[in-house]
Amino acid sequence: MKRVGPLNLRVGQALSLRRSLRPLCRRNGSSFEHEAGPGDPRRPGACPTTLPGTITILTLCLALVLAGCGAQGKSDPKAEAPPPAEVERVPSAGLFKVDDPGKFPLATAGERRAAPELNVTGVVSADVSRNIPVVTLATGRVAEIHARLGDTVVKDQLLLKVQSADVAGAYSDYEQAKADDTLARAQLDRSKILYDKGAIAQKDLEIAQDAETKASVAVKTTLDHLRVLGADPDRPSAIVEVRAPVSGVITDQQVTAAGGVQGLASPNPFTISDLSSIWILCDVYENDLPQVHLGQYADVKLNAYPNKALKGRIGNISPILDSNLRTAKVRLEMRNQGFMRLGMFVTATFHGLQSETRATVPSSAVLHLHDRDWVYVPADGGQFRRMEVTSGKMLPGNLQEILAGIRPGQKVVSNALVLQATAEQ
Whether 205 and 213 have beta carbons less than 8 Å apart is answered as no
For residue 152, what is the DSSP state? Answer: E
List, for residues 25-34, the tens digit of each pLDDT value. Answer: 444 444 444 4
SS3 101: helix
The pLDDT score that the predictor gives to residue 47 is 45
The pLDDT score that the predictor gives to residue 262 is 82
The pLDDT score that the predictor gives to residue 100 is 80
Residue 218: name the closest of 165, 264, 172, 187 by CA.
172
**Cα gap 231→106, rounded to integer Å:** 84
Q: Residue type for 101, please?
A: P
Residues in the chain, overall count: 425
**Beta strands at 139-145 and 117-126: parallel, antiparallel or unpaired:** unpaired
Q: Residue type for 308, please?
A: K
The pLDDT score that the predictor gives to residue 39 is 45
The pLDDT score that the predictor gives to residue 7 is 42
**Cα gap 189→206, rounded to integer Å:** 12
Quick one: three-class SS letters along 171-198? HHHHHHHHHHHHHHHHHHHHHHHHHHCC
- How far, CA to CA in Å, does 245 sit from each of 141, 159, 274, 338? 21, 10, 12, 22
CATH class of 101-114+355-424: mainly beta
Whether 141 and 258 have beta carbons less than 8 Å apart is answered as yes
**Cα gap 20→7, rounded to integer Å:** 20
Whether 332 and 279 have beta carbons less than 8 Å apart is answered as yes
The pLDDT score that the predictor gives to residue 56 is 60
Domain boundaries, the chain: 6-76, 101-114+355-424, 118-127+273-351, 136-268
**Cα gap 54→46, rounded to integer Å:** 9
For the chain, list residues with pLDDT below 70: 1-93, 425
Give the CATH architecture of domain 118-127+273-351: Beta Barrel (2.40)
The pLDDT score that the predictor gives to residue 314 is 95
